[in-house]
């Protein structure tokens, strides 16, 4: 019985969070599609020093992170990245808890993406 309850809770948790996944940033190709957002959660200075074309910057460390993301459509696909992957993973979890349904963490972050461009 305990196993059934555990599995049920696990399924409910996955359904409530929608599609929350990860993929290596090296496999990522961005298109400025209407229903896709590329979110850079690094600091404004990191973003200024270089970013993926088409990305918008909302600093994970910003006190008003939740406020800044609240106007984003919760049903679009959001690809999120940072420098290496730590902040983007935390941002992904936060976005899911705020009701975003399709959030993809780009593993390896900007550093890996930049290395792949060379």
Residue 16: which of 77, 72, 96 has the closest Cα? 96
The answer to whether the CB of 88 falls within 8 A of the CB of 106 is yes
Catalytic residues: 82
CA–CA distance, 20 with 71 (Å, rounded to integer): 19
The phi, psi pair for 47, rounded to 5°, reads -60, -45
The answer to whether the CB of 38 falls within 8 A of the CB of 88 is no
Kindly provide the residue ranges of all beta strands, DSSP E only, lying in the chain, ordered along the sequence: 19-24, 36-40, 56-57, 77-81, 102-107
């Amino acid at each position: 019985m305990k196993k059934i309850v555990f599995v049920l809770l696990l399924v409910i948790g996955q359904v409530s969070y929608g599609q929350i996944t990860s993929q290596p940033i090296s496999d990522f190709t961005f298109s400025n599609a209407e229903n896709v957002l590329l979110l850079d959660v690094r600091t404004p200075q990191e973003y200024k020093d270089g970013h993926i074309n088409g990305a918008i910057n909302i600093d994970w460390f910003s006190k008003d992170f939740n406020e800044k993301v609240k106007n984003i459509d919760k049903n679009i696909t959001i690809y999120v990245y940072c420098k290496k992957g730590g902040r983007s993973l935390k941002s992904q979890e936060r976005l899911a808890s705020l009701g975003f349904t399709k959030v993809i963490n780009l593993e390896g972050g900007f550093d890996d993406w930049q290395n792949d461009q060379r």
